[in-house]
């Protein structure tokens, strides 16, 4: 049985601060103060500079200006990157030796949502202590530095080119994509001017989708969470495969030449097995509580250790660093290759999968057959208060009964969402019908207790 509780901060969730534009805290006033508060915290470690990048949402420009003003008022210099993928901001934060990087994005959410997340000087998500420090400053009144100490603001004109070259450097120079026809779906998001160029410059014929952002169409029926149009285009154009990114480019899924979706667990396995084949597998693989049992079984049978972290890339990263391993990821397609970069990167991850195809001399459809996925079914139950498992013995008993019925051939997971007021109930087993019924029955018990 796996039941997770959540540690709540006032503003920061599992992946920064996120919500509906115009609804607190996603307002210009809050972003101004957030910039100031972050500037105050990072100024404690000496005067430096902070990078700001964003995805293609119309509200990004408004929040960019507010954060910029807040940071400058705290005496911090600011470098503006414009629309850039989240992993690009992590990379550029490292290469510019900045104190921090700020991303304005709501990832795979619709345009009317937005949010902010921070990277440390190492290009990693901020630890909890720094987030708490920023929240403490948010409780204070803004006190501007003197006129001589106001931060300066400038734009980085060649940010896209720098990042494109970095992505290409993560692909072996001995390999080429010449002869491949690839459909690249950018979801009208932050990779629209990056990803197609990376694959073209490596030699591929690229069919572009979702590369005309207008501020409102980000993730609209496209991208990693809506792959049906990509499936249709791969089949129609007889492409070798397709790649779909989410709005901020830190995750991706792929579609093989049969039009079948290849999810994050399958992609993670392909990368791991190709590294083992090349003698480059360092340690094991970190997944999450949502990672499919099929992934775990194949990895262990291949002699590759596997451990699970709580859901969220920051938890995967923490386990990788603790074990000194390099490879981890989530079912959503958020994959970390720490030997190449410090955070999840959709373009870099796709290149590692393609490397596996070239190394094994097999198409994507054949590589994904290495894993047989267990059916999973998830039900969401409204839960407005913090979920403390110990307070609900009836739920614990129902979970134990569900596990008894699975008879050692499945899993049960109860997990509070980091972005919504819901408790996610997931049951995994050998039969689709069985897991759907068990998840539904368990959800009824949970709803009676916490709904």
> How buried is 396 (Cβ within 10 angstroms: 0-12 exposed, 13-18 middle, 19+ buried)?
middle
Buried b (16+ CB within 10 A) or exposed e, 23-41: eebbbbebbbbbbbbbbbb
Q: 163-370 and 376-450: same fold?
A: no
- The residues that are catalytic are 107
Give the count of beta carbons closer than 10 Å to the beta carbon of residue 156: 16
Letter string b/e over residues 127-154, b meaning 16 or more CB atoms within 10 A of that residue's CB: eeebbebbbebbeeeeeebeeeeebebe
Closest CA to 116 of 175, 174, 63, 188: 63
For helices 159-169 and 346-360, the axis angle rounded to 10 degrees is: 30
119 by Cβ neighbours in 10 Å (0-12 / 13-18 / 19+) ranks as buried
- Looking at residue 4, what is its pLDDT? 46
Which pLDDT belongs to residue 408?
86
Distance of alpha carbon 41 from alpha carbon 132, whole angstroms: 10
**Residue ranges per domain, the chain?**
8-157, 163-370, 376-450
Structural class in CATH, domain 163-370: alpha beta
Q: Is 0.75 topped by the overall pTM?
A: yes
Residue 325 CB coordination number (10 Å): 20
Homologous superfamily of domain range 8-157: Alpha-D-Glucose-1,6-Bisphosphate, subunit A, domain 3 (3.40.120.10)
> For every one of its 451 residues, what pLDDT tens digit does the chain have, with 9 covering 90 and above?
454 444 457 899 878 999 999 999 999 999 999 999 999 999 988 788 999 999 999 999 999 999 999 999 999 999 999 999 999 999 999 999 999 999 999 999 999 999 999 999 999 998 889 999 999 999 999 999 999 999 999 999 999 999 999 999 999 999 999 999 999 999 999 999 999 999 999 999 999 999 999 999 999 999 999 999 999 999 999 999 999 999 999 999 999 999 999 999 999 999 999 999 999 999 999 999 999 999 999 999 999 999 999 988 889 999 999 999 999 999 999 999 999 999 999 999 999 999 999 999 999 999 999 999 999 999 999 887 777 777 888 999 999 999 999 998 899 999 887 667 788 999 999 999 999 999 999 999 999 888 6
What was the pLDDT predicted at 15?
83
**321: phi then psi, degrees, rounded to nearest 5:** -65, -40
Cα-based distances in Å from 292 to 268, 295, 329, 373: 11, 5, 12, 6
Distance CA 10, CA 228 (A): 37
Q: What is the pLDDT, as a whole number, of residue 3?
A: 46
The superfamily in CATH containing domain 376-450 is: Alpha-D-phosphohexomutase, C-terminal domain (3.30.310.50)
Structure tokens belonging to residue 218? 């980000």
Helix residue spans in 170-227 (DSSP H): 195-201
The C-alpha angle 403, 409, 415, rounded to 5 degrees, equals 50
Radius of gyration of the chain (CA): 22
């Amino acid at each position: 049985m796996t039941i997770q509780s959540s540690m709540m901060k006032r503003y920061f969730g599992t992946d920064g601060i996120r919500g509906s534009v115009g609804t607190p805290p996603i307002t210009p006033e809050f972003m101004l103060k957030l910039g100031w508060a972050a500037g105050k915290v990072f100024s404690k470690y000496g005067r430096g500079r902070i990078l700001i990048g964003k995805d293609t949402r119309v509200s990004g420009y408004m929040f960019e200006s507010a954060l910029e003003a807040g940071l400058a008022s705290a005496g911090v210099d600011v470098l503006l990157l414009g629309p850039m993928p989240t992993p690009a901001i992590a990379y550029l934060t490292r290469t510019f030796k900045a104190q921090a990087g700020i991303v304005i994005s709501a990832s795979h959410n619709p345009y009317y949502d937005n949010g902010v997340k921070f990277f440390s000087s190492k290009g990693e998500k901020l630890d909890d202590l720094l987030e708490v420090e920023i929240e403490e400053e948010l409780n204070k009144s803004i006190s501007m530095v003197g006129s001589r100490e106001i931060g300066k603001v400038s734009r980085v004109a060649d940010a896209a080119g720098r990042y494109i070259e970095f992505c290409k450097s993560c692909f072996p120079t001995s390999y080429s994509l010449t002869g491949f026809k690839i459909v690249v779906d950018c979801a009208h998001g932050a990779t629209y001017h990056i990803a197609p160029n990376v694959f073209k410059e490596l030699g591929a014929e690229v069919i572009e989708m979702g590369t005309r952002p207008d501020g409102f169409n980000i993730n609209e029926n496209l991208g990693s969470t809506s792959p049906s149009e990509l499936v249709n285009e791969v089949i129609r154009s007889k492409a070798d495969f397709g790649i779909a990114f989410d709005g901020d480019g830190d995750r991706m899924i792929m579609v093989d030449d049969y039009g079948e979706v290849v999810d994050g667990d399958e992609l993670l396995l392909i990368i791991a097995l190709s590294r083992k084949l090349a003698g480059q597998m360092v340690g094991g693989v970190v997944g999450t509580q949502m990672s499919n049992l099929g992934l775990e079984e194949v990895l262990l049978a291949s002699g590759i250790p596997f451990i699970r972290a709580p859901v969220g890339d920051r938890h995967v990263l923490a386990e990788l660093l603790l074990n000194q391993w390099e490879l981890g990821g989530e079912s959503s397609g958020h994959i970390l290759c720490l030997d190449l970069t410090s955070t999840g990167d959709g373009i870099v991850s796709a290149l590692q999968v393609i490397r596996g195809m070239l190394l094994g001399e097999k198409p994507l459809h054949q590589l994904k057959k290495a894993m047989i996925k267990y059916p999973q079914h998830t039900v969401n139950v409204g839960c407005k208060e913090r979920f403390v498992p110990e307070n609900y013995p009836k739920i614990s008993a129902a979970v134990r009964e569900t596990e008894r019925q699975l008879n050692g051939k499945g899993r049960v997971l109860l997990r509070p969402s980091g972005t919504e007021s819901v408790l996610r109930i997931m049951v995994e087993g050998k039969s689709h019908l069985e897991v759907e019924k068990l998840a539904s029955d368990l959800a009824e018990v949970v709803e009676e207790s916490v709904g």
